[in-house]
Chain A
Amino acid sequence: MLEVQKLTIRTKDNDRVLVRDSSFSLGAGETLCLIGESGSGKTLTGKALLGMLPAGLRMSGELSFGGDAMTRYGKREWSRVRGRRIGVIYQHPEQALHPAIPIGRQLSDLLRSHLPVTRHAAEVSARTMLDKVSLKDADRMMKSYPFQLSGGMNQRVMIAMALLLQPELLIADEPTSALDVTTQSEIVALLQGLVAEEQLSMLFITHDLLLAGELADTIAVMKQGEIVEQGTAGEVLRRPKHAYTKQLLNCRSSFRFAPEEGAHLYVGNQ
């Protein structure tokens, strides 16, 4: 269903390679986990699949989704794919939602962007979707703002939003890394249930090998922009071939929190 061949992403100005020759495929209803530390190019790969690479980057390679070549998509084609056939969830849901628009409105705006429905009909489906991600009191939720909800609740809202239009593919970019352990397992369980129920393909981006083992049918390990190892979850976890995978498996326990926390400390945004 999704076929990525020799995807390469480089910077326009000095041709620095950020992702090199990465190839993988994902069948209908399957989950592929893309593993790597921050800066390994996994998030960029996700952005490439949405046609949303930052302005200073260009890509080459073949991306085929449900039979069409995404590399030839224009603006209009992309807008029919984003949100409609591919949904996304992020590490920080409260930042991915508009801070000053009620959640119900954001859901119905999405629906109305893609389908010719009335506001009322859109709100009804939005409410149903909120029930589906086990958010209690959907009516109140519809009127809430993101800052009034917890991280876990916001992530459920994001999931509802990503699945609202019944896409074929879900891209989940570290959706649980910012959550506490209990909420994390709830969200993972919810995702597993929904993936099975909807026959959804999922590209799950994470740095957490054990989590990947729990979710994945196949695993691809990325290091410095290259996929160094890929195979079924069982193979990769039980008989890792590449030294880097072994290293990841060994230090997994201490690895879990460190890189994401530290990664932004010196970025220096204001």
Chain B
Amino acid sequence: MKKAFSLALGQKWTTAALLFLAGLLIVGLLASWLHPFDPYEPDYAAKLQPPSLSHPFGTDYLGRDLFSRVLAGIPYSVFPALIVLGLVMIISLVLGTISGFYGGRLDMLLMSAADLFTAIPNLLLTIVIIGFLGFGMENVYAAILLSWWAKYVRIIRGLVHDVKKEPYMLASRVSGSFGFHAIRRHIVPNMMPQVLTLIILDVSRVILALSGLSFLGLGAQPPSPEWGVMLLDGKNYLQIAPWMGFFPGLMIFVTAVAFQICGERLRSRLQLN
């Protein structure tokens, strides 16, 4: 019955998305050996050139090859999202499990804090944090962490409550092996598939958020080849050199779509809501 709910994405789309992401990962790791031109060194002779064979994405206002910059930007644009979400997952696994497993006053405190942070718009929180603590990537990551942990702590707390009700948990309670052991052996492994699916579904949102912050000038700063920064450059040359903004944005878009497709596929596999 549930199957009918989610339109199955074709296998070929998922395969394409996975291949793209795998390629992105490899190129991202090897970026410094792969790009044809130096992504940072200006070449005023070649500035603002439209896409051509030697410069497939064109060049920017300093004559830097955009294709090289886009490749060099992978580690700055995609990897941070994964790292931040990994951190979010670890933090909320700890807090959510404690909150759901032990309950009590700590649980109440955590949940009201989570309520507060869920209610504040993510971007507003980021603006406030960067506004007061200043520019810098560590503040951006802190802001993203602060605005995402609440959602996951809640979800994980709910999952812990569900698992606690399972008959085998009752058995472990009776046999006295209730506590850290139960958490490690039963609770965490049981909810990992769901948590991971949700995390993967959120990767695109975090990628968009991070590059968006750079685009607003709050995140990565020039001359970083982070895609949001490149887009910001591109915005100013919209009328003369539209390719400057087009290709970095396209990369963000395609990457986000690929993660979204994988997340959707996982979700319909696990038949989650």
Contact between B1 and A54, CB atoms less than 8 A apart: yes
Q: Which residues of A from 10 to 56 have beta carbons under 8 Å from B?
A: 54-56
Chain B: interface secondary structure?
helix
User: Hey, which chain B residues are within 8 Å of A269, CB to CB?
Assistant: 2
Contact between A55 and B4, CB atoms less than 8 A apart: yes
Chain A: interface secondary structure?
loop
What's the tally of chain B residues with a CB closer than 8 Å to chain A? 5
Closest to A55 in B: B4
CA distance A55 to B2 in the complex (A): 12
CA distance A56 to B273 in the complex (A): 21
8 Å CB contact of A270 from B3, B4, B273 = B273
Name the distance in Å between A50's Cβ and chain B's nearest Cβ. 17
Name the distance in Å between B76's Cβ and chain A's nearest Cβ. 39
Closest to B272 in A: A270
CA distance A269 to B273 in the complex (A): 11
Name the distance in Å between B272's Cβ and chain A's nearest Cβ. 9
CA distance A140 to B135 in the complex (A): 66
Name the distance in Å between A183's Cβ and chain B's nearest Cβ. 29
Name the distance in Å between A48's Cβ and chain B's nearest Cβ. 17
User: Hey, which chain A residues are within 8 Å of B2, CB to CB?
Assistant: 269
User: Hey, which chain B residues are within 8 Å of A55, CB to CB?
Assistant: 4
User: Hey, which chain A residues are within 8 Å of B273, CB to CB?
Assistant: 270
Closest to B4 in A: A55
CA distance A56 to B1 in the complex (A): 9
User: Hey, which chain A residues are within 8 Å of B4, CB to CB?
Assistant: 55
Name the distance in Å between B198's Cβ and chain A's nearest Cβ. 15
Name the distance in Å between B105's Cβ and chain A's nearest Cβ. 29
User: Hey, which chain B residues are within 8 Å of A54, CB to CB?
Assistant: 1
CA distance A55 to B4 in the complex (A): 9
CA distance A54 to B4 in the complex (A): 10
Q: Which residues of B from 1 to 33 have beta carbons under 8 Å from A?
A: 1-4
CA distance A56 to B2 in the complex (A): 12
User: Hey, which chain A residues are within 8 Å of B3, CB to CB?
Assistant: 56
Name the distance in Å between B197's Cβ and chain A's nearest Cβ. 15
Q: Which residues of B from 247 to 273 have beta carbons under 8 Å from A?
A: 273
CA distance A55 to B1 in the complex (A): 9
CA distance A26 to B3 in the complex (A): 35
Closest to B167 in A: A265
Name the distance in Å between A112's Cβ and chain B's nearest Cβ. 30
CA distance A110 to B40 in the complex (A): 72
CA distance A64 to B2 in the complex (A): 32
| 5 A-B pairs with least C-beta separation | A55-B4, A270-B273, A54-B1, A56-B3, A269-B2
Residues of A within 8 A of B (CB): 54-56, 269-270
Between A and B, 5 residue pairs with Cβ closer than 8 Å are A54-B1, A55-B4, A56-B3, A269-B2, A270-B273
